[in-house]
Amino acid sequence: MITSIIIFILVLSVLIIFHETGHFFAARKAGIWVEEFGFGLPPRVFGRKIGETIYSINLLPFGGFVRLHGENTEEQIEKPKRAFLNKNKKTRAAIVCAGVFMNAILAVICFAIVYSFSGIPRQTDNVIIVDVSAGSPSQAAGVLVGDTVKKVDKLEVTNSKDFINFISEKKGKKTTVEIDRGGQTKKIVVIPRVDYPDGEGPLGVTISNIEVYYPPIWERPFYGVYYGFKDALFWGKTIIVGLYDVIRELFGGHIPKAVSGPVGIFAITTEAAKLGILSLINFVGILSVNLAILNIVPFPALDGGRLLFIVLEKLIGRKVIPKVEATIHTFGMVVLLLLLVAITVADIKRLIVAGSISGFIDSVLK
């Protein structure tokens, strides 16, 4: 449990530090005074001033922030030329979006690392065995995961459709399947079933035409970035669709079942870590895409909410009164914290009912 907690905190730290570093460096580049760089949400537990910025650790480890000089109010601005509110709209918008951009970059980096070490998937004409069902004719005959099917009774197999059709015609008959196993050709005699469990098929194998390709080491980072970018786009689309469903359920007065808070993230992080470092890195990439998209939602207190006020300023030709905007963002933060508490309570209930972390994850994914 202690190890799981440490891993969970490290995962959150990486996500938050990347996000807030985006705001931090964008603000510094624009000449804005960064008063505080905080991990977690207040109250402050520890803080140390380095240069002109306080670096703090706060009690609630579910977020982070960069406090910019003159960010929310025109009062008590000591350095007008270095105040956020006094910068032009383009500069403020860039600073607001910088955190989202950094999370997108982190996601691509994570997926690129995974692909660089686990190989690049590519489509081929080969029919590859990716799973063999227990008690099936294929298991009894000695078929193994990773075998590549070449022929069925002297008929060449060039794609998955061929294989399925050939085997379907051989139900109940002794059939010779020629496979390639590690460069060696083997012939296996098997009798495809006439009756079989749902989802297994006559032979009880799962096939794919996707193989894992390991390019030269120097090429892997480039392949990794390319496929990492594609993965980031895929998860971005998936999360946007899921977010739409969540908002619809919220407006219907229900706590979305597909949503998890800190407890849920802790549970999934724990399970991902059990599967190995690459699985954990991949999960961090998914979380980073999630964080990027959620933060750009135009809701008060989120980056998207702040961006919305900059857009409104452009449309109406003048700034929204800073005190009014600050009040709205504070209200938004309260709403988000209350929602976080509600989701956490729901997660705890589901965890208790499930009786285990794996059971909890199954209930979340249903």
- Could you give the residue numbers annotated as active site? 20
CA atoms of 227 and 222, how far apart (whole Å): 9
**Which string of DSSP letters, residue by residue, matches 240-286?**
HHHHHHHHHHHHTT---TT---HHHHHHHHHHHHHT-HHHHHHHHHH
Helices marked H in 142-276 — which ranges?
A: 160-169, 220-251, 262-274
How large is the greatest C-alpha to C-alpha distance in the chain, in angstroms?
87
> What is the four-CA torsion angle of 273, 341, 64, 115, rounded to 10 degrees?
30
Whole-angstrom distance, CA of residue 179 vs CA of residue 181: 6
What is the CA 278 to chain-centroid distance, rounded? 13
Two structure tokens written together for 322: 């800073």
User: How is residue 19 written in tokens?
Assistant: 């996000």
User: What's the Cα-to-Cα distance from 145 to each of 134, 148, 202, 301, rounded to whole Å?
Assistant: 12, 9, 17, 50
Helix and strand totals (H; E) in the chain: 10, 8
Count CB atoms within 10 A of the CB of residue 268.
Answer: 20
CA–CA distance, 103 with 290 (Å, rounded to integer): 9
